[in-house]
Amino acid sequence: MNTRQWLEKLVAFDTTSRNSNLELITTVRDSLQAQGITPWFAHNKERTKANLFATLPATQGPEAGNTQGGIVLSGHTDVVPVDGQNWDSDPFKLTERDGLLYGRGSCDMKGYIAASLALVPEFLAMPRTKPLHLAFSYDEEIGCAGAPSMLAELQERGIHPEGCVVGEPTNMQVVVAHKGINVYSCSVHGKSAHSSLTPQGCNAIEYAARLICTIRDFADAYKANGPYDTMYDVPFSTMTTNQIRGGIAINTIPNLCEFTYEFRNLPGMSPEKIQEQITHYVRDHLLPKMQAEYPEAKIDIGVIAASPALETAEQEAITALVRALTQDNEKRKVAYATEAGLFQRIGIPTIVCGPGDIIQAHKPNEFVAIAQLERCEEFLRKLGRSMQLA
């Protein structure tokens, strides 16, 4: 299948993060197996989702058959929901209009996966001195939660790639750095009472509101005082509360309020130290006030997802290679997070470069330009050829 055909097939799978991706991932596995490649899966605990990793061994020279070293082509298979969005066409049916291919995930980031899979026959025919690896993950859209199990198994198997290209949409431009993302859940437990008997209760919503406002205060401080990196469109670390739920009736003091918050830290900033600000406020200020009203009050904070920031040095071989193949020497940093930081954390230097524009991601009528996919194909061909003997 060519890239267009692969993309049509991939978009047709509704791999919204709340769903399983197994149908898509087994389809990819079966295609690779039919070409003589043996992928392996790294499942989630429930075995309802899986990452896929596959290696195309070196084919040339004394390293023929070798699976060590080489470069990883990495992409995520999950997509964000279409709920409440007004699409002009079926989001799970690839539709072409004016040189653009519409469909959920066409840009973010099934286009890159489609191009990688379409070129597998060419890769296999190339006389490469190093292997190429394919790494397709789940649950990237909910905080890069799926890839860690794959990377842990990669280490257990003793596979040590030399570099990685994560194909998030960058208009095929080179991105060398991005922020980290850290997502937390918070449950504030108070005591119910009739609202006419306020002193007999402990209002979970009101105490949650105090914590939420404090998180906003921390965010305002980072905006006002830095640290800053002006290469980012948002040049400081950010903190936001994005979901909240609590209360059962207008005349009942709520005993529970739950919310989620996140922060996106610049490279070099410690996520642990940022979170410690919140932990300190809860432990030393907020919780004592709650327990003065209700001794059994508590606040539980849990980690939903955490993915490290990325900052890849210009001296890394993968940086030089991707710059040479794209003829792009501009240094770019982005505020959104990817799985690239996870690869870097285990010692695999990583660059972000893929087809499409991040502006299209997560929106109704998401699309990728056919011209972008063609540029991606040419880049991947050059990448394969760069592994040939001189």
The pLDDT tens digits for 125-143 are 998 889 999 999 999 999 8
Assess whether 78 carries a catalytic annotation. Answer: yes
Query: With 70 as the cut, is the pLDDT of residue 375 above it?
Result: yes
DSSP letters spanning 99-155: TEEESTTIIIIIHHHHHHHHTHHHHHHS-BSS-EEEEEES-GGGTS-SHHHHHHHHH
Predicted local distance difference test score (pLDDT) of residue 67: 72
Instruction: Give the tens place of pLDDT for each residue, 322-353.
Output: 999 999 999 999 989 999 999 999 999 999 99
Q: Which residues contact 60 (CB under 8 A, 6 or more apart)?
A: 127, 128, 129, 388, 389
Sort strands 310-311 and 163-166 into parallel, antiparallel or unpaired: unpaired
Which residue of the set 78, 139, 262, 377 is catalytic? Answer: 78
Predicted local distance difference test score (pLDDT) of residue 388: 80
Which residue of the set 14, 108, 139, 140 is catalytic? Answer: 140
Average pLDDT of the chain, as a whole number? 95
Rounded Cα distance, 155 and 39, in Å: 16
Assess whether 293 carries a catalytic annotation. Answer: no
Between 3-12 and 111-118, two packed helices, what is the crossing angle to 10 degrees? 130
Task: Give which of 152, 157, 116 is closest to 44, Cα–Cα.
Answer: 152
Rounded Cα distance, 30 and 360, in Å: 30
CA distances to 44, 55, 135, 339 from 69, rounded to whole Å, are: 26, 11, 14, 19
Task: Give which of 187, 237, 165 is closest to 384, Cα–Cα.
Answer: 165
Instruction: Give the tens place of pLDDT for each residue, 17-64.
Output: 999 999 999 999 999 999 999 999 999 999 999 999 999 998 877 666
Is the domain spanning 181-306 CATH 3.30.70.100? The answer is no
Q: What is the assigned CATH class of domain 3-177+309-385?
A: alpha beta
Rounded Cα distance, 168 and 16, in Å: 17
- What is the residue extent of each domain of the chain? 3-177+309-385, 181-306
pTM: 0.90
Q: How far is CA 130 from the centre of its chain?
A: 27
Predicted local distance difference test score (pLDDT) of residue 68: 80
Instruction: Give the tens place of pLDDT for each residue, 84-118.
Output: 999 999 999 999 999 999 999 999 999 999 999 99
- How many other CB atoms sit within 10 Å of the CB of residue 27? 16
